Structure 1
Amino acid sequence: MRRDQRQVTCRLGRIVGARADHDAEVRLTTASYYTSPDGTGTPVTTRTDTTVDFTTAPVDALPAVWSARWTGTLVPTVTGLHRFSLLPSGTTSLKIDGRTVVSGTRQMARFFLGPYDYPLQGTIELTAGRAVSVEITYTNATAEPGTCGLTFGWQPESLIPAAVAAARAADAAVVFVNRVAGEGMDHAGYALPGDQDQLIEAVAAANPRTIVVLNTDGPVATPWLNDVAAVVQAWYAGRGAGTALAAVLFGDSDPAGRLPVTFPADATQGPGTSPATYPGTNGTVAYDEGTAVGYRFYDVRKQEPRFPFGHGLSYTTFAHGSLEATYDAAAEQITVEVTVTNTGRRQGTEVVQVYATLPASAAAEPRRLVAFQKVTLPAAGTKRLSLTVPAQDLTVWKSGATTLIPGSYTFATARSSRVVTAQRALTLG
């Protein structure tokens, strides 16, 4: 089941595309256009508009940088969750009864990598027959020079009840959710856009055998995690995505991927979570994480993520045997050997990761990924793996050069940056 894509264009007066039995109105009061970038001063034009849907300046008298405000009244005909969207080239916001439902900045009104639109979205609970005020603001001050655009969309009826009914009658439910990124499309929050979290929660309540497929650009919040049976991170898998995903969901293929990023437990974890680091203060961004990039930041700050870097599950289980590490000074490389055994009842794929902890005098991150290897084994199958670590990968920047600090190094095999299976100390230098 997938969230509805029939986002209709909201014309200020009538909803184009709404079903007749859910016809609803947005009663317009004014549309005001300003020559200032922030909606201040005397409007250059105040008029009645019939639409908020443009990709060129809707008023001839506007300068290169301008702003606008539309106000009106919405009378919903259905009680429940309503989804709104704004597709801007610039900065925009939507307030319903004074509450900000959608806001953000985009550099383009139409996504340049394909024929699809990716609007900003938000939801709000409304009551049938109860009129609410609507205010839309817009400025093209943040758009690419010479461009503008805004489309206001409204889904007047939530399709979540229909999804719940289908899930309740099914043996299992698969919910596909989506979040897209591109140039000029930084995310203002960590949650899935629109009503997708509500969709997952409602379907999972109706069917405990619910699988969530994340078709996302990166980590997202998972407030429903303990209520679903499984989560598959699909990323953007390309033309063969459907076939590959079906093979994993039906168990024909083992899910062999591992996370190349960390999923934080909440929006306060990880780098770039303060105003100084994102979006910056007075136009200046502070990169204060230093070398603690990615999973290293979580290790340095002792934060427990939702899913660590390198995490991933299989339809079988694996055991890592004892670890051996040797240093070849002439070749300037370390060899790490470990035996991997499939301890389950079917074929599966394991990704063995090797992390190194440098001597304290190196003042380095707590743990550094230095090698990994994927291995597919039949049930009860065993294989001895040999992984090579160049000594260069263990260096730090010191006194203007990359330097291998003499001392004791700890090499660990692991299933992720947080799940170590064996380790061995080795003196280098």
Structure 2
Amino acid sequence: RTASYTPSGDVTAATDAASKADVAVIVVGVKSSEGSDRATLSLAHDDDALISAVADAQPRTIVIVCAPGPVLMPWRHAVASVLITPYGGQEAGNGVADVLFNDVSPSGRLPFCIPNIDNEQRWTSEQYPGVDSVMSYSERMSTGYRWYHKQGDVAPAFWFGYGLSYTKFEIGDPRLLEEGSSHSIVADVANVGSRDGVEVVQLYVTWPSHSLGASEPPAQLRGYRRIRVSAGERSTVHFEVTSDMLRLWDESAGRWLVPAGTYTLYVSKDAGTLGRGITVAWP
């Protein structure tokens, strides 16, 4: 394994080195802190330009993004892969190297959506940055993946919960198990790839379309399971459906309530690939 380093400020040297290499790796990032907001979700203009130039010279380009949150990736279709490392800590470098050199199959999943453009959710000035130092949270729960679900006509660049692995998993249709008054959702997870790996299976819930549930965005995350499956094997994940999972805050009553009615539950790899839902009547 031989690696050469080129300073990011010299685009000509970077593209020349990339064109002669087997793989190009670009490390970029942004920073943030308490008490302030990023003015944009974009990388620095020079970073975007460097990535595009290197990707033109070397199709097998890997971009490592060190960021505290979502970052716009207008070049995402031109590169071979993107590795995001939010808050990696002092071992971030070793972790990245383990993934790059195929010593570890990645199993992280995005804890946020990555939008296509700045302000894709169409915040008003009253919502952000606010007027006279006062912000209105009129969007309520319609933020992140919940906003995309509620809109229905736009998808992010990458969904909440998304992440790749060096193997491939298939999640079967969910099944309902009932025993007395208890309910469980189960689904089979098959590793159909050539190496062992970890999948993060996610449970999303849609509330009844009346009462408290009428104003709720559809398909909200209510559980997840991290499951290791050997190559060629399958396993089963179980989610117990509980009242804590289904309860909503009733502002007029000042307490948590579970709306009676029919719920739809989904077992999925991420918020954007929900598949077939299964209905549960509660109580």
**Is residue 2:118 matched to residue 1:264?**
no
In structure 1, the gaps of 5 or more residues are 5-157
- The alpha-carbon distance between structure 1 residues 258 and 176, as it changes in their structure 2 partners (threshold 3 A), is same
**Is residue 2:193 matched to residue 1:344?**
yes
SS of residue matched to 1:355: strand
- The alpha-carbon distance between structure 1 residues 355 and 251, as it changes in their structure 2 partners (threshold 3 A), is same
Distance 1:162 1:244 in 2: 28
By how many angstroms is 1:270 displaced?
2.8
Asked if structure 2 preserves the Cα contact closer than 8 Å seen for 1:211 and 1:228, the reply is yes
Q: Which deviations, in whole Å up to 9, do the C-alpha atoms of 1:22-73 show, x marking residues without a partner?
A: xxxxxxxxxxxxxxxxxxxxxxxxxxxxxxxxxxxxxxxxxxxxxxxxxxxx
User: In the comparison of the two structures, how many residue pairs are matched?
Assistant: 273
Aligned alpha-carbon RMSD (Å): 1.8
The answer for the alignment partner of 2:126 in structure 1 is 276
Alignment of 1:193-204 (within 5 A): 193-204=44-55
Would you tell me which structure has more helix in proportion to its own residues? Answer: 2
The answer for the alignment partner of 1:314 in structure 2 is 165
Distance 2:56 2:12 in 1: 12
Asked if structure 2 preserves the Cα contact closer than 8 Å seen for 1:341 and 1:382, the reply is yes
Alignment of 1:43-82 (within 5 A): none
Distance 1:414 1:207 in 2: 34
By how many angstroms is 1:417 displaced?
0.8
Identity of aligned residues (%): 34
Which one of the candidate residues 405, 412, 427 is aligned to 2:266?
412
- Runs of 4+ in structure 1 deviating by more than 6 angstroms, as ranges, are none
Asked if structure 1 preserves the Cα contact closer than 8 Å seen for 2:184 and 2:241, the reply is yes
**Is residue 2:145 matched to residue 1:291?**
no
In structure 2, the gaps of 5 or more residues are none
Q: Which deviations, in whole Å up to 9, do the C-alpha atoms of 1:222-275 show, x marking residues without a partner?
A: 11111101011111211111111111112221110000101111113137x332
Asked if structure 1 preserves the Cα contact closer than 8 Å seen for 2:6 and 2:17, the reply is no
- The alpha-carbon distance between structure 1 residues 194 and 176, as it changes in their structure 2 partners (threshold 3 A), is same
Which one of the candidate residues 145, 151, 174 is aligned to 1:301?
151
SS of residue matched to 1:208: coil
The answer for the alignment partner of 1:402 in structure 2 is 256
By how many angstroms is 1:426 displaced?
1.1
Asked if structure 2 preserves the Cα contact closer than 8 Å seen for 1:217 and 1:235, the reply is yes
The answer for the alignment partner of 2:41 in structure 1 is 190
The answer for the alignment partner of 1:390 in structure 2 is 242
SS of residue matched to 1:227: coil
SS of residue matched to 1:175: strand
Which one of the candidate residues 196, 212, 224 is aligned to 2:75?
224
The answer for the alignment partner of 1:380 in structure 2 is 232
By how many angstroms is 1:304 displaced?
1.0
Q: Which deviations, in whole Å up to 9, do the C-alpha atoms of 1:320-351 show, x marking residues without a partner?
A: 12322245676xx6421111110111111111
* AA at the equivalent of 1:341: A
SS of residue matched to 1:239: helix
TM, length-normalised to structure 1: 0.61
- The alpha-carbon distance between structure 1 residues 329 and 291, as it changes in their structure 2 partners (threshold 3 A), is farther
Distance 2:23 2:149 in 1: 37
- The alpha-carbon distance between structure 1 residues 327 and 284, as it changes in their structure 2 partners (threshold 3 A), is farther
Would you tell me which structure has more strand in proportion to its own residues? Answer: 1
Distance 1:198 1:262 in 2: 23
